[in-house]
Amino acid sequence: MWPKRNSSGPHTDLQQVNWGRLPYVALLEIFRCLSNTDKLNASLACRAWQLPFHEPMLWRRGRFRFNGVIEMRALYFACRMGSALRHITIDCSVGSGPVPQATKRSAKNLSTFLSFLVDSGNAQLSTFRLTHLDRFRRQWGEPDYDALRLLLAAQQGLVWLDLENAGLWPDTGFQILGLVGNSSGSKVQKLHIADFMLLEVNDDDDDIDEDPRVFSVLASFTALTELSISYDVLSDELLFLLGSTVTSTLSQISVVANCKVTQESQTSSRAWTHLCLKCPRLSASFQLKGVSRVQSVLVVLTPKTPLARLQLSTPGMYNNVNLALCLDHIVTNFHGYLQSLELNLHMVSLNAEGDLTRLVQQFPDLENLHVTSTRLNRRQELGVHRALRRTVTRQPGSRLKDVTLNGQKVSLETTWTSTLVDWLTEQL
């Protein structure tokens, strides 16, 4: 079985190995260390490996993309090995500009893929992640959604459910969540449903956060440690509900807000304080998209929120005064909480040195700071580098370790090269 050297010379190649004699268990261990692509390539190249290739224990995890490229392989895999999967990740985000015909074909292939999983009788999924399903909203009908309903309703031990950016109508969305809650509600620990449902478009319809189905559906998930939702469904009632259903277990809540002009907040400091008392390890992440007025920031970011991570992006209608007010609100209300801050400021005049150094000084627990600003020239960027480096040097207790400005990493270490660059910048 083992290769032997040819005696004709010390530098001759090894004799051909008879891989067919390699023990079956050893083949399984070899396959276990390979990526899915390498497993497939190896099985195609070595006929003797076809049997271990079809061993279910090797195919617990599968990642698939439905963007018009190599989708038939996913269908073949689901048909042959669908019952072996325990962790499924499906990404439906658009690829490199597929034509409408490709989108229609991908929508049909995804529906077929889910039907194969249903037919395989797989009821033991631990992870099911299906993102950007909204891309197929126009192509999918009730029979397609039925396949998704049947698959999720059959699961008894689902731990992670991710349906972000599904863009479902409320009736369909609540029905699917209700099915999961009935079958795996006491097992699900990670529930990611940001932008899972569309808002009602008629003015006469009630807001989705006031729909009683929100509370009845989420009440069935009693073991959550992570929850990702849209700001549109967030309310005081929901925060109090979480305080009674996931006491002591919830450690992270992520909120995605597509900002618009809002007159009053959907949450209060009292509700956040109550939830923090019930869940002492709770931290919050907020992603604010399309912020065009400071009022949106003041309304969405309620005081007493355990805000640890914040991502804020503007569409370009901000001015320097509004940004200053926004930063004032953040500094005043979230001192001692914030650990990560990302600012994507398009067409904004940013007082980078003053504003950013103030943030570093006011937030000693800040670890990550990422800023993108289209209004900074190269000289201003160097000034920000120098100011941040000096600020961190003068604050020995600062935890800041990862800083980027317009995609470029900012070195916070004071060396002779950085000191020289600072001096040259000042002279110029």
Q: How many domains does the chain have?
A: 3
pTM to 2 decimals? 0.82
| Model pLDDT, residue 415 | 62
| Model pLDDT, residue 5 | 47
Computed on alpha carbons and rounded to an integer, the radius of gyration of the chain in Å comes to 27
Tokens describing residue 188: 């699900």
| Model pLDDT, residue 309 | 96
Same domain, residue pair 67 and 215: yes
Same domain, residue pair 47 and 159: no
Domain for residue 107, yes or no?
Answer: yes
Same domain, residue pair 43 and 121: no
Beta bridge mates, 370? 342, 404
Amino acid at 123: A
Domain for residue 194, yes or no?
Answer: yes
Same domain, residue pair 174 and 75: yes
Tokens describing residue 307: 């805000």
Distance, in Å, from the CA atom of 173 to the CA atom of 280, rounded to the nearest integer, reads: 31
Segment 307-325 shows an average pLDDT of 76
pLDDT digits (tens, 9 = 90+) for 355-372: 788 888 888 889 999 988
Which of 58, 77, 106 is the last residue before a domain boundary? Answer: 58
Mean predicted lDDT score pLDDT of the chain: 82
Helices and strands, number each (H, E), in the chain: 15, 13
Q: Is the distance from CB of 346 to CB of 315 less than 8 angstroms?
A: yes
Amino acid at 244: S
Same domain, residue pair 24 and 54: yes
Q: Is the distance from CB of 385 to CB of 410 less than 8 angstroms?
A: yes
Same domain, residue pair 29 and 156: no
Same domain, residue pair 113 and 186: yes
Residue 203 pLDDT > 70, yes or no?
no
Same domain, residue pair 82 and 177: yes
Domain boundaries, position 171: 59-223
Same domain, residue pair 127 and 86: yes
Domain for residue 48, yes or no?
Answer: yes
Name the residue among 319, 313, 289 with its Cα closest to residue 371: 313
DSSP state of 225: S
pLDDT digits (tens, 9 = 90+) for 244-283: 999 889 999 999 998 765 567 889 999 999 999 999 999 9
| Strands (E) located in 194-306 | 226-230, 252-258, 283-289
Tokens describing residue 43: 């099985």
pLDDT digits (tens, 9 = 90+) for 221-239: 999 999 999 998 999 999 9
Same domain, residue pair 153 and 49: no
Same domain, residue pair 105 and 161: yes
| Model pLDDT, residue 17 | 53
Distance, in Å, from the CA atom of 212 to the CA atom of 1, rounded to the nearest integer, reads: 68
Same domain, residue pair 428 and 355: yes
> What dihedral do alpha carbons 347, 349, 351, 355 form, nearest 10°?
-50
Beta bridge mates, 254? 228, 285
Q: Is the distance from CB of 274 to CB of 306 less than 8 angstroms?
A: no
pLDDT digits (tens, 9 = 90+) for 20-54: 555 555 666 666 777 777 766 666 555 555 555 56
| Model pLDDT, residue 193 | 96
pLDDT digits (tens, 9 = 90+) for 124-175: 999 999 999 999 999 999 999 999 999 999 999 999 999 999 999 999 999 9
